[in-house]
Structure 1
Amino acid sequence: MNNWISALAHLQASGESCVLVTIIEELGSTPRNAGSKMVISADRSFDTIGGGHLEYKAMQIARDMLARGQQNTHLERFSLGASLGQCCGGVTVLLFEPMGQVQAHIAVFGAGHVGRALVPLLASLPCRVRWIDSREQEFPQQIPEGVRKIVSEEPVDEIADLPAGSYCIVMTHNHALDLALTAALLTRNDFTYFGLIGSRTKRVKFEHRLRERGFDTAQLQRMRCPMGLTEVKGKLPVEIAISIAAEIIATYNASFGQHAARAEPIAKLLPASRRSHAI
């Protein structure tokens, strides 16, 4: 796959971040062509902007952008002389465009009514979603692109495979399972966001049981329950789903690029939730 257009389409379809590099200006007696492009991912490169040390430097810059999660475009001006190990003079200007940056890795536990309304919303965002339930019949026939359906008899076991900094949403059909998932997530404690569907009464009950298991106040404060922005009103599944998706967007816009350990607690990023999701 040498053509940059095909490579870009393939990487975006697979959810892999990359940087599109374009020569936008070429001054001097260099052999490169303005408009030449290449695509650079974390471990591969496609097409060429002419090879040589300039291309090597471009790959270094692009991969540094990917490692830092940079989302903004970037211009870089190169003097083609001693700094690039070339004998000819001239100036080349490169445009670096991050493509397909994933804002959040999201795990949704539960394929009930709210889950079925929420997951398509999340799939339309720059996110990658794992949708987990033990009941295969609850999933729709068509799973949105960018969503991985996981049918597991033991949903709690899936927590070990989540990337650090994940966004975790628990909304299963079973309170005992919700509690087990909550305990496992709080034990791991490296998520960026954890939302539990339910009312304030459910939160009080869960906090009591979790304290009996040894969880402290700081850990319990990381649990968002009730979840969802209070500004988005309504009790229909789609209305609840929109409020949760809005909270996810608010969180990743506030904390993207930060390690979970340094990210602000969700309670500081968002207003206190008064929404009650009876479940």
Structure 2
Amino acid sequence: MNSLNWSDAILHCQHAGQGYVIATIIDAQGSTPRDGGSKMVIDDAHCYDTLGGGQLEFLVTQQARELLAANQSCQIMRPIPLAAEAAQCCGGNVLVMLECFAKVDWQINLFGAGHVAQALVKILAELPCQVNVIDSRAEYLQHFNAANCRVIHHADPTQTIAEYVDNSWNIIFTHDHQLDYKLCSELLRYDRWAFVGLIGSRTKAQRFHQRLKADGFEEQYLTCPIGLPDVRGKRPMEVAVSIAAQLQSLYYQEQPRHKRKSTSWRTIKKLIGSNQLESY
């Protein structure tokens, strides 16, 4: 049991980008350890708050971890007769709703902590992603305090590339064109990224593509300029909006569409209205 209560645990899990399940007692009949409305939160390693402990909590946690292993957001109802299924002497019945929220698997690496990066992180802070901001200038990294953002200070940002997970999204907008090119070259050595983008004008894009081709790289894997061309404006926030819109458009195109698993409304009404909650 962790010291956080269920509401604080939700924020903790969201900020960490990890999957979690909210377990709520929807209905309680007879003698039960907790009343309707009681909640707990379960993640891969911890339980926060309580539904009363004992076998009831064990069964709920076990099913929650099965949902987390599938990593698919869903809502299901679980009726539990405490005597028959949980072997608890109180002998009542509870109906538990399990709401599973899948872990965040969208990681975005921002190389450069200038004005556009600062504006972009304000947008990304509201999206289901985890953000790394990498820069050699420690003073610039002080501007980032979003809960889903981690700052990385390194004298040579290219030396951090190996630590980022496969299918990461990478955006380059440092203060130095030579560093930009070095980062492009290093990222394109690996065929494991979902996206590699570079900020810049069409002239800069043309020069970088020519250099990359001359150096033997598949320059078509580099997106430059980045951002949607129809979203105009040169202010940092305008550029950031354009980049964020492009990232969202590409990201959601690649996401498989799963039918969300849930308990039917007819079954829910039957379960709540029943005097004896039975498994179905």
The number of residue pairs the alignment matches comes to 254
Paired position in structure 1 for 2:236: 237
Paired position in structure 1 for 2:106: 104
TM-score between the two structures when normalised by the length of structure 2: 0.75
Distance 1:119 1:21 in 2: 32
Distance 1:113 1:141 in 2: 10
Distance 2:228 2:169 in 1: 16
Higher RCO, 1 or 2 (CA under 8 Å, sep at least 6)?
A: 2
Structure 1 residue 40 displacement after superposition: 0.6
Q: Does 1:118 align with 2:159?
A: no
State which structure, 1 or 2, has the greater radius of gyration over its C-alpha atoms.
2
Letter in 2 for 1:128: Q
Structure 1 residue 114 displacement after superposition: 1.7
Kindly tell me: are residues 210 and 243 of structure 1, through their superposed partners in 2, closer, same or farther at Cα, counting changes over 3 Å? same
Kindly tell me: are residues 3 and 213 of structure 1, through their superposed partners in 2, closer, same or farther at Cα, counting changes over 3 Å? same
2:161 is paired with a residue whose SS is helix
Distance 2:27 2:51 in 1: 12
Paired position in structure 2 for 1:178: 180
Q: Does 1:4 align with 2:16?
A: no
Q: Does 1:224 align with 2:223?
A: yes
Distance 2:227 2:140 in 1: 23
Paired position in structure 1 for 2:51: 49
Equivalent pair of 1:116/1:139 in contact (CA under 8 Å): no
Equivalent pair of 1:75/1:93 in contact (CA under 8 Å): no
Distance 2:59 2:232 in 1: 51
Structure 1's consecutive aligned runs of 4 or more residues displaced over 6 angstroms after TM superposition are 87-90
Distance 1:221 1:57 in 2: 51
Structure 1 residue 43 displacement after superposition: 0.9
Letter in 1 for 2:149: V
1:226 is paired with a residue whose SS is coil
Paired position in structure 2 for 1:248: 247
Paired position in structure 1 for 2:41: 39
Unaligned runs of 5+ residues in structure 1 are: 259-279
Unaligned runs of 5+ residues in structure 2 are: 258-280
Aligned residues with identical type, % of pairs? 41
Equivalent residue in structure 2 for 1:94, among 83, 96, 109: 96
